[in-house]
Amino acid sequence: MLFDSHAHIDDAKFDDDRAQVLSGLRRSGVGLMINAASDIRSSLESMRLAETYDNVYFAAGIHPQEADKASERDFAELERILEHPKCVAIGEIGLDYHYDEPAREVQRAVFYRQLKLSAAKSMPVVIHDRDAHAECLQAVKDTGARGVFHCFSGSAQTAAELVDLGFYISFSGVITFKNAKRAVEAAKAVPMDRILIETDSPYLAPEPFRGRRNEPKYVEYVARKLAEVKGVSFEDISSETFSNALRLFGIDSASL
């Protein structure tokens, strides 16, 4: 069984077949999945999905692209949601300097606030880092927060530094793309006991589905590519990434 450590099944692209996708997870080889939120509304929707489906857990948080809309009420609501028994992380949170919108200082303030919250609550974070590698690294050093860098796009050197700090590194369908040299090099630098796999559905469908809507079942193609990169069997990468995710998110395998 595979663990899709990051998907957005609350996204409108699943409005027509959400129940089918989620109730079919096990049949398609996905044992567990984390639904990652981007704001308070999607945190609440993720919570509902986790309450409906046994094998769905969730992360609650405010994405950098939504940082300018976050109110004090949202932060109070977030703290309440984090108490939910199936909420296993704060995320996704981070910095996105690709579009430079909202303003960097707004993104930074919301990111730091949630990093501090995670350190205070000893809850892992799910970090979105786009074109902000140095600053994200500094932020997790400053706050002592720990967790996973999702859809990792940094260098092998940054990956190694994050692993030394205690972080997990998650790879997505990007690693299957023809020009994915950087992701492949980063994956080589991450020890087996720190690797996670994800789809980031509905985005980033792996080859041979690139450009189409992504689904949790395609996490298999990420696992196959990673097995090739690491020189291990598909079974080994599946079981290692599964137990890594259980460990990081504090999910008791006896409860499955």
As measured in angstroms, the least distance from the Cβ of 126 to Ni ion is: 8
For Ni ion, the closer of residues 66 and 200 by Cβ is 200
Judged by CB, which is closer to Ni ion: 45, or 200?
200
What is the closest distance, in whole angstroms, from the C-beta atom of residue 255 to Ni ion in the complex? 25
Are 85 and 57 within 8 A, CB to CB? no
Judged by beta carbon, residue 4 or residue 200, the one nearer Ni ion is 200
C-beta of 177: minimal distance to Ni ion in Å? 17
> Of the candidates 197, 173, 191, 153, which has an alpha carbon nearest to the alpha carbon of residue 33?
197
Query: Among all chains, which residue has been given the structure tokens 């998110």?
Result: 249
Of the listed pieces 40-48, 192-200, 215-223, 236-244, which binds Ni ion according to CB under 5 A?
192-200
Tell me the residue number closest to Ni ion, measured at CB: 200
**Residues pairing with 33 in the sheet:** 4, 56
241: tokens are 């990434």
CB of 47 to Ni ion, least distance (A): 17
10 binds Ni ion (CB under 5 A): no
CB 251, min distance to Ni ion, A: 19
* Residue 240 binding Ni ion, by CB under 5 A: no
**Backbone φ and ψ of 190, nearest 5°:** -100, 125
Q: Which is nearer to Ni ion, 203 or 234 (CB)?
A: 203
200 binds Ni ion (CB under 5 A): yes
Are the beta carbons of 89 and 59 closer than 8 angstroms? yes
Sheet holding 30-36, edge to edge: 2-7, 30-36, 56-60, 87-96, 125-130, 147-149, 168-171, 195-197
- Residue reference for tokens 């990434």: 241
Give me the residues that bind Ni ion (CB under 5 A), please: 200
